[in-house]
Amino acid sequence: MDYASVAKKILQRVGGKENVISLVHCMTRLRFTLKDESIVDDEAVKKTKGVMGVMKKAGQYQIIIGNDVANVFAELNKLGNFSNEAPKKAPQKQEKKGIVSMLMDTISGIMAPVIPAIIGAAMIKVLLTLLPMIGVLDTEGNTYNLLSVIGDGAFFFMPVLIAISASKKFGTNMYYAASIALIMLHPNFISLMSNANEAGEVVKFLGFIPVTYASYSYSVIPIILAVWSLKYVEKLADKITPVVTKNFLRPMLVVLIEAPIALIVLGPLGAILGNVLSDVVYFIHDQLGFIAIGLVAGIYPFVVMAGMHHAFTPIKLGMIATTGYENFICIGELCSNMAQGAASLAVSVKSKNKDFKQVAGSSAFSALVAGITEPALYGVTLRLKRPMLGACIGAVAGGLFGGFFQMKCFGIATPAIVTIVQYVEEDRAASLLIAALTIVITIIVAFIATMLIGFEDIVDEDDEDILAEEAKPAAAPLPEGREIRISSPIQGECIPLDQVKDATFSQGILGKGAAVIPEKGEVVAPFDGKIDMMFETGHAVGMTSNDGVELLIHVGMDTVNLEGKYFYPKKASGDTVKKGEVILEFDKDEILKAGYDITTPVIVSNTDAFADVSATSSGPVKELDEILIVR
């Protein structure tokens, strides 16, 4: 992938650097905060080679890149030197949401940047399980204890990481936020509260305000609420402090006001909310048993699509911190990841498109081995639609099996083949076999289901290379004096190509030709030849004549956005056609009502293979009237 080229196109298509307030990235997505999302051409972004999809969540414009996201992010920063700080100006348009939806979106958006640190720590915990099992590491030795500290650090001090991320989300001072988190985790505070709780006493602030006992290590929601309130405390402190005292009095007031609010009100409230959220999730599990795990596995890809999967991290953390394991969400997530990989593997095996085979194969490897599913989800299964069904079937099958045999997860490393160790119970020898069988069953069922259901191969479509087909041999130059005359495939008004309201066509980027404004919704074959590509959406047709002229007929501007609506192909890719045969019908009036320009470019896409391509007609033309000459 040409990262610099991809970055340049993405930046241009999101409205340029002047439209970007801030930019961060997670494991697979670029997360833009834009001044005005309405000016972004979503379809142009999606068509960019290297882009797997677009999501709009929590005030962010998210572009799914996959495993190469860090490289594209680096190139974008070269172009715009974007700050990771919180935006000073909110986007112009805000989506109206319910309280629950807003809370979940906020948690998910704050958790996303923290995930790499959590995964790093979780993988250390996986090693601490694996190495003693194979006799490499002594659990009583100093090395084990040091590695245990390394693996547990990010979890114990989770509120500090969350405070940093939340400060960017809410636009507060990062160091104030981290300080509040550190106060909540201070050893003396923990000791004070623990001792009072054990003695049945209540700690009181100022002698009469009770401080509710709560444990904040491993927690998420309490510090999010604290940092959210911090922005108001900062404004209050700034307002009430005289100018000459702001340098020392304002910081003191911020901490002095915010810390009691966090410890007395918002911290305990957040702990309660976290427990309620966890109780609701596990109530479902308790009611449905192992069936709930199968259902979660089946719907989990759609949770990822909504960008809500990170919102489950606090719930998983809380359950592991309380019981030592998690036996619901983590199992469903594992099966979902394996199913996405297996479905992508089936696509890689069955697809006849060499480029797409590589995309599907690498996406399958990423999902199966590393547990990173977004390349598979957005680049393969969701894109082809039918493989998504195969993946869901496989995930449900695996989830039911794992749930029935009471699988447990003892870490939150990304669920994948390489992290299978986190599903091993020390006193249950069969647990490794159960985990392995869960993975195998999921993969086999998803693979077979995808192969049986099938799918329709598609071609990546970049707006500078609409056909995006494998390179074809150039047509042999015509003998001197010989001409090939191309007829109009449509009845209507013929106009010069440079009058088309799309630079890709009007500037001749795709080749020379002409354009027709249709009078009726019918496209006929302008010569004897073959249909090279009938686009899945029906809006464009690529043909090759028996003389070697490659022709693109593109009905309307941006009509790919209609996703096939109002287009009715009469021929398919690979069909041989005779001049005058109807190859496509479309509802001209409905397309116009939908707000689309129906001007239809007729382009000789292999223009460079000939000495000249020129238009011969203007004004009214009928089907099969001559409009182009190729020399």
Question: pLDDT tens across 126-136, in order?
Answer: 777 778 877 88
What local confidence, expressed as pLDDT, does residue 311 receive? 65
What local confidence, expressed as pLDDT, does residue 90 receive? 41
What local confidence, expressed as pLDDT, does residue 272 receive? 82
Backbone conformation region of residue 163, classed left if phi is above 0, alpha if psi is from -120 to 50, else beta: alpha
Segment 3-9 mean pLDDT: 88
**pLDDT class of 88 with cuts at 50, 70, 90:** very low
Strand partners, 514: 496, 602
**pLDDT class of 1 with cuts at 50, 70, 90:** low
Structural domain spans, the chain: 3-96, 157-283, 289-453, 484-630
- Domain 3-96: CATH architecture, name and number where available: 2-Layer Sandwich (3.30)
**pLDDT class of 393 with cuts at 50, 70, 90:** very high
Q: For the ranges 96-110, 283-297, 381-395, which has the lowest average pLDDT? A: 96-110
Strand partners, 569: 584
Q: For the ranges 77-81, 272-276, 427-431, which has the lowest average pLDDT? A: 272-276
Domains 3-96 and 484-630 share a fold: no
**Cα distance between residue 79 and residue 12, in whole Å:** 11
DSSP tag of 266: I
pLDDT over 60 (residue 469): no
Residue with the larger pLDDT of the pair 50 and 263: 263
- Digit-coded pLDDT (tens) for 589-611: 999 998 899 999 999 988 888 88
Tokens representing 307 are 């960008």
What local confidence, expressed as pLDDT, does residue 247 receive? 82
**Cα distance between residue 61 and residue 58, in whole Å:** 9
Segment 50-58 mean pLDDT: 75
pLDDT over 90 (residue 277): no
Tokens representing 210 are 């009770």
What local confidence, expressed as pLDDT, does residue 306 receive? 56
Question: Do residues 574 and 534 make contact, with C-beta atoms less than 8 angstroms apart?
Answer: no
**pLDDT class of 255 with cuts at 50, 70, 90:** very high
CA distances from 496 to 270, 616, 627 (A): 65, 10, 10
What local confidence, expressed as pLDDT, does residue 229 receive? 93
* Superfamily (CATH H level) for 484-630: Glucose Permease (Domain IIA) (2.70.70.10)
What local confidence, expressed as pLDDT, does residue 462 receive? 45
- Digit-coded pLDDT (tens) for 353-388: 777 788 788 888 888 987 878 778 777 887 788 999
Q: For the ranges 186-190, 247-251, 474-478, 479-483, which has the lowest average pLDDT? A: 474-478
CA distances from 193 to 203, 205, 382, 398, 599 (A): 7, 12, 50, 44, 73
**pLDDT class of 94 with cuts at 50, 70, 90:** very low
pLDDT over 90 (residue 118): no
Tell me the catalytic residues: 26
**What rounded mean pLDDT belongs to the chain?**
83
What local confidence, expressed as pLDDT, does residue 301 receive? 85
What local confidence, expressed as pLDDT, does residue 458 receive? 57
CA distances from 388 to 329, 370, 377, 533, 574 (A): 20, 19, 8, 24, 26
Backbone conformation region of residue 256, classed left if phi is above 0, alpha if psi is from -120 to 50, else beta: alpha
Percent of the chain with pLDDT over 90: 33
pLDDT over 90 (residue 245): no
pLDDT over 70 (residue 350): yes
| Cα distance from N-terminal residue to C-terminal residue, the chain | 37
**pLDDT class of 99 with cuts at 50, 70, 90:** low
Helices then strands (H, E): number in the chain?
22, 20
